[in-house]
Structure 1
Amino acid sequence: MTQARQSHVSVPLSNAEYLRDILRAPIYEVAIVSPLQNMPRISKRLDNHIQLKREDRQPVHSFKLRGAYNMMAQLSDAQKKAGVIAASAGNHAQGVAMSGHKLGISATIVMPRTTPDIKVAGVRSFGGNVVLHGNNFDEAKIKAIELANEHGYTFVAPFDHPAIIAGQGTIGLELLQQNGHLDYIFLPVGGGGIAAGVAVIVKQLMPHIKVIGVEAEDSACLKAAMDAGEPVTLDNVGTFADGVAVKRIGDETFRVCQQHLDDVITVSSDEICAAMKDIFEDTRAISEPSGALSLAGLKRYTEQHQLKGKNMASILSGANLNFHTLRYVSERAELGEKREGLLAVTIPERTGAFLDFCKILGGRAVTEFNYRYSDDALANIFVGVRLTNGQEELDSIISDLQKGGYPVQDLSDDEMAKVHIRYMIGGRPTKVMNERLYSFEFPEYPGALLRFLNTLGTHWNISMFNYRNHGADYGRVLCGFELEDKDLLSFTAHLKELGYGWKDETESPSYRFFLSKDS
C-alpha cells in the first residue's frame, strides 16, 4: 500500500477516541489559543451576545495549521524522513508548510497555476516546496497523489482524516473553556474538518449547545449529502468563498457531522460580504470570504428563528485574501444587508419625467442611476436606492412607483444584474440579430483569454463582451454571440472543448430589459 493511500480513513473513530485525540493533540507547539472576541455592534443590532473566535490570529492566519500539525507530528520516523505532500490553493498549504518547517519534515505543496502570488509566497516563506500544476484544486490533487506514489511521500489530506479532524477539534475545546455559557456555535463547512472536529467534542462535553454548520449556497456539499444520505459530488461550486469551494464532503467528516450537527444552513455571497463588513466594523479585522461564512450563517439563522438574548459564537476561520477582493465585497455588502435595492424602471420620454420619478422616491439616496435613450416614447433606467429598513422599505418603493404609473422590476437578487448589467446599461444593437448571451468563469492565468478567442471567436461573431476581475482566482465574463439555431450544436461542442464554466443567459430578465434588441 502506498503512502498516499495510508491516509485514507478505513476504520472510523468512536466519539470517545476523538475526545481523547483532541485532548492530547500537540498543536500548541506551533498554534496559539486564539482569542474569543466580543462583537458589541452586531450584538446590539441582533439583540444577542455574539463572540468571534479569532483563528485569523494563528501564525498562518487560518485554523488549518491545527489539523496539519496534529497529523504530521504523529507520523512515524520513516514517514517524516520521506516527507509529506499536499494539494491546496491556500490555507491548508501554509499550514502544512509551517508544520513541516517546525517538525523538520520536507513538505511539497501542489498548487493550481491560478493560485494568487500572495499565497504561493506564503507557502515558500515557510520553506515549502511549491509545484504549480493544473488550473484547479482537483487537477492539483491528482498530481499530488501521483507524486506521493512516485516518491513515497505521505499525503496530508485537507480535511478527511481523523488526525486532521482532531486537530481542528481543539477549537471546540477552547470555546468551551473561554465561554461555558454558549447556547449556539456556528461553524463554516467546506470539506467538513472544522465542523466535525468541533461538533464531536462539544456534543460530548456540553450536548445542550446547538452546533450549526454553515455553507455557501453555491458549494453546499454537506447539505447535498444530508439530503442524499451519503456524500455526493456537486457538478460545480462557486469560487468567491474559495476556502470552502469543495465539491464533495469527506466520508469521515460527513459521518461525524451527520451524527453531531444540529442543523445546516446556507448563505449567499452577498450575505458573506455583509458579514465581512460586520467583522471589520466590530474588530477591524479583514476576513477572507470563507472566514466570514459562519457569522453570515449566524445572522441568517438568528433572523429565521427570531432568537433573542442568546450567547452565540462564530469562527473567523481565515484572513488570507487578495486585497482587490475587497472591491467586490464593498459593492455587495450593502445588498447582503438589504441596505440597497436595485430596480429596473420604465419612464416616459418627456420633460419632467425624471423629476416626477425622483419625487416618488421621496428624497431617498440614489446610489446608482444608469440610463440610455431607447425610443421617443419610453426609457429604461437602472436605479440603486439606499435602504434603511430593508425589504419592507424596498417593497414600499416598488408599490409607490407602480401607483405612479411606472413599470418596475426588482433586480436586487438578480446575479447577472449585480455582476454585469449595472455596468453595461444601454447596449442595445441597432439591428435585430440572432444573439445569444453566455456568462463564463475564466481562470486567471496567462493565455486564458487567447484560448477563449481561438476556440470561439474565430467561428462566431462576438456581439458583446464584458469582463470583470474581483481579485479572485476566476474572472467573470459576459459575452454575446450571433448564432443561428443550426449553429447551437457545434457551438455547444466548442464550449465543452473550451473547458471553462459557462451558463446560457439569453433568457435573463435583465438582459431582455436592457440589452436585447427584440425585448
Structure 2
Amino acid sequence: MLTLDKIYHASFVLKEVIRPTALIKSPNLCPGVNLYLKPENLQVTGSFKVRGAYYKISQLTEEEKAKGVIACSAGNHAQGVALAAAKNGIKSLICIPDGAPISKVEATKSYGAEVCLVEGAYDDAYEKALSLVEETGATFIHPFDDELVIAGQGSIGLEILDELPNVDVVIVPIGGGGLISGVAFALKALKPEIKVYGVQSSGAPSMLNAVKKKQIETLDSVKTIADGIAVKRPGDHTFELVEKYVDEIVTVTDDEVSTAILELIEQQKMIAEGAGAVALAAALFHKVPIQNKNVVCLVSGGNIDVTILSRVIDRGLQKAGRLAELIIELIDKPGQLLGVSQIISKLGGNVVSVFHSRADVDLDINACVLRISMETRNQEHLDQIKAEISRQGYKIVDVK
C-alpha cells in the first residue's frame, strides 16, 4: 500500500541524488493567475523520473541487486534507471522504442546502461522487457505502476507544499499515471482542498478514457509530440489512485503543446519536451479553472530532441499567429507582388520567403499564385494584414 510515510522516506533517501528544483514564479505566462513552475526539466537526467527509479532501486535486496535491473521507457525513465543503477553499482538493461529521440537513447547509454531498441511504441518495449526478465531473473523497474516508484514521484508533492503552503491548484502531466498518483496522494493527504488536475495529449488519452469508462482499456494507437506520455494503457495501481485523488483530467493538442514550449523558451528561457509542457498548455488554453489562484504547473522533463525542437518552435509560432504563409491568387501583370509586399511592409510584417508561380493548373489562364511566408507580432497583427490585403482587392486562397 502507498502511504505518506513511504513518500516521506523516499524524499529523505532522494536527498543524496536529486537536484533541488525550486518553484519559479511566472506571472507573465498567464495574466490573472499567480503561476509557478516546478522545473523538473532541470532535474538530474532532465526529468522527474530519476526520483521513482532511484527510490525503487535503493530498496532492492542485495540478492536482487546482484541480478541487475531491467526497465522499459520512451527515454526519461531509462535515464533515471540507468543513473540509479550506476549509483548503486548494479547492471541495467533498458528496452526503448526505436522511435524514441536519439538524444534520450544516447543519454541512457552515457549513464552506463545497456540499451535494447524495440520496434514499435512503449507498450512493445514493455513486452520485450518482461520477456527478458523471465530469461535473466533481473528485477523489473516499472516506469509508473509500482508503489515505490510512485512514492518517489510523490516527493514532488511534498516539495511543492513546503515551498508554497497556500497553493490552490497543481497541474500535472499524465502518461501511465505514476507522477500524478504520487503527487496527488501526497497533496491530498496533507491538504485535501488542493485541486489536482491531470493533463494528457489528445492523441494519447488512455487515463482519461479509463476514468470516463471506469475501466482500463488499451488504446489501439497513440500519436503525439509528447512522446514521454504516449502510453496506450495506464497502470492498475495508478488508475485506482487517479480515480480517488485527481479532480479532473483534460487534454491538449500538439499545437497547444508547441505554443507552451515556445512560451517557456521565450518567457522563462527554459527548454521543455512535449510531455513537460502539457501542464502549462492546459493553463495557457484555459482547460482548467485557475483565475486568481495560486497555481503550480509541473514541467516534468526537458529531454527534447534538438532536431524536433525547431519544428515545434515553428508550430508554436504558427499557433500564436506569429508565423504564417499566405497563398494569394494574383492577376499575372507587373506590380502585383510589389503591391502585396508594400501592404505587409507598411503594417510591420516581415517577409521570410516568397514563391511565385504560373504553373498551377487550377488557376485561370491569366492568373498566378503567390506563396508568401511572413513573421507577425501576434494573431491580431496577422488578421490586420490579411484584412488589408483583401481590402485592396487581392484574393487570399489559403492561410497556413
User: Which bin holds the TM-score, normalised by the shorter protein?
Assistant: 0.7 to 0.9
CA contact (8 A) 2:347 2:385 kept: no
Correspondence for 1:242 among 218, 227, 244:
227
1:344 aligned residue: 327
The separation in 2 between residues aligned to 1:201 and 1:256, in whole angstroms, is 11
Correspondence for 2:244 among 243, 259, 266:
259
How far 1:397 moved relative to its partner?
Answer: 5.1
How far 1:130 moved relative to its partner?
Answer: 2.3
How far 1:215 moved relative to its partner?
Answer: 1.7
Q: Which amino acid aligns with 1:315?
A: L
Greater relative contact order structure (CA < 8 Å, 6+ sep): 2
The separation in 2 between residues aligned to 1:371 and 1:254, in whole angstroms, is 55
Unaligned runs of 5+ in 1: 1-12, 413-519
2:89 aligned residue: 104
How far 1:129 moved relative to its partner?
Answer: 2.3
How far 1:135 moved relative to its partner?
Answer: 4.5
What secondary structure is seen at the aligned counterpart in 2 of 1:42? coil
Structure 1 range deviating more: 355-364 or 280-289? 355-364
**Aligned residue runs from structure 1 range 20-169, under 5 A:** 20-25=5-10, 26-39=13-26, 41-42=28-29, 46-169=31-154
Indicate how the Cα distance of structure 1 residues 346 and 63 shifts in structure 2: closer, same or farther if over 3 A, else same. same
Indicate how the Cα distance of structure 1 residues 117 and 200 shifts in structure 2: closer, same or farther if over 3 A, else same. same
Indicate how the Cα distance of structure 1 residues 99 and 389 shifts in structure 2: closer, same or farther if over 3 A, else same. closer
Indicate how the Cα distance of structure 1 residues 360 and 116 shifts in structure 2: closer, same or farther if over 3 A, else same. closer
Q: Which amino acid aligns with 1:24?
A: H
Indicate how the Cα distance of structure 1 residues 393 and 264 shifts in structure 2: closer, same or farther if over 3 A, else same. farther
Indicate how the Cα distance of structure 1 residues 109 and 360 shifts in structure 2: closer, same or farther if over 3 A, else same. same
1:353 aligned residue: 336
Indicate how the Cα distance of structure 1 residues 49 and 140 shifts in structure 2: closer, same or farther if over 3 A, else same. same
How far 1:409 moved relative to its partner?
Answer: 4.9
Indicate how the Cα distance of structure 1 residues 411 and 234 shifts in structure 2: closer, same or farther if over 3 A, else same. farther
2:279 aligned residue: 294
1:315 aligned residue: 298
Q: Which amino acid aligns with 2:29?
A: I
The separation in 1 between residues aligned to 2:18 and 2:130, in whole angstroms, is 27
How far 1:41 moved relative to its partner?
Answer: 3.9
What secondary structure is seen at the aligned counterpart in 1 of 2:116? strand
CA contact (8 A) 1:186 1:211 kept: yes
Indicate how the Cα distance of structure 1 residues 389 and 240 shifts in structure 2: closer, same or farther if over 3 A, else same. closer
How far 1:63 moved relative to its partner?
Answer: 0.4
Q: Which amino acid aligns with 1:37?
A: I
**Aligned residue runs from structure 1 range 319-468, under 5 A:** 319-358=302-341, 363-365=347-349, 366-373=351-358, 374=360, 375=363, 376-390=365-379, 392=380, 394=382, 398=386, 401=389, 405-412=393-400
CA contact (8 A) 1:364 1:386 kept: no
Aligned-residue RMSD, C-alpha:
2.6
How far 1:72 moved relative to its partner?
Answer: 1.9
Indicate how the Cα distance of structure 1 residues 259 and 402 shifts in structure 2: closer, same or farther if over 3 A, else same. farther
1:422 aligned residue: none
Unaligned runs of 5+ in 2: none
Deviations 1:215-258 (A, max 9, x none): 22222222222333322222222252211111222222222222
Indicate how the Cα distance of structure 1 residues 199 and 349 shifts in structure 2: closer, same or farther if over 3 A, else same. same
CA contact (8 A) 1:33 1:174 kept: no
- Indicate the percent of aligned positions where both proteins have the same amino acid: 35
Indicate how the Cα distance of structure 1 residues 370 and 120 shifts in structure 2: closer, same or farther if over 3 A, else same. same
How far 1:402 moved relative to its partner?
Answer: 5.0
The separation in 2 between residues aligned to 1:234 and 1:389, in whole angstroms, is 37
Deviations 1:168-209 (A, max 9, x none): 111111001111122221111111111121112212222222
Indicate how the Cα distance of structure 1 residues 162 and 410 shifts in structure 2: closer, same or farther if over 3 A, else same. farther
The separation in 2 between residues aligned to 1:118 and 1:179, in whole angstroms, is 34
Correspondence for 1:176 among 135, 153, 161:
161
How far 1:94 moved relative to its partner?
Answer: 1.0
Structure 1 range deviating more: 220-229 or 378-387? 378-387
Q: Which amino acid aligns with 1:363?
A: L
What secondary structure is seen at the aligned counterpart in 2 of 1:379? strand
CA contact (8 A) 2:97 2:125 kept: yes
Q: Which amino acid aligns with 1:231?
A: I
CA contact (8 A) 2:167 2:294 kept: yes
Give the number of equivalent residue pairs.
392
How far 1:290 moved relative to its partner?
Answer: 1.8
What secondary structure is seen at the aligned counterpart in 1 of 2:71? strand
CA contact (8 A) 2:150 2:181 kept: yes
Correspondence for 1:280 among 265, 268, 274:
265
TM-score between the two structures when normalised by the length of structure 1: 0.69
How far 1:367 moved relative to its partner?
Answer: 4.4
What secondary structure is seen at the aligned counterpart in 2 of 1:381? strand
Structure 1 range deviating more: 370-379 or 95-104? 370-379
What secondary structure is seen at the aligned counterpart in 2 of 1:29? coil
How far 1:355 moved relative to its partner?
Answer: 4.2
How far 1:92 moved relative to its partner?
Answer: 0.5
Indicate how the Cα distance of structure 1 residues 38 and 235 shifts in structure 2: closer, same or farther if over 3 A, else same. same
What secondary structure is seen at the aligned counterpart in 2 of 1:219? coil
How far 1:294 moved relative to its partner?
Answer: 1.4
Q: Which amino acid aligns with 2:236?
A: D
What secondary structure is seen at the aligned counterpart in 2 of 1:264? strand
Indicate how the Cα distance of structure 1 residues 105 and 289 shifts in structure 2: closer, same or farther if over 3 A, else same. same
Q: Which amino acid aligns with 1:382?
A: R
The separation in 2 between residues aligned to 1:54 and 1:91, in whole angstroms, is 15
Deviations 1:117-164 (A, max 9, x none): 433332233222223343543332222111100111121111112222
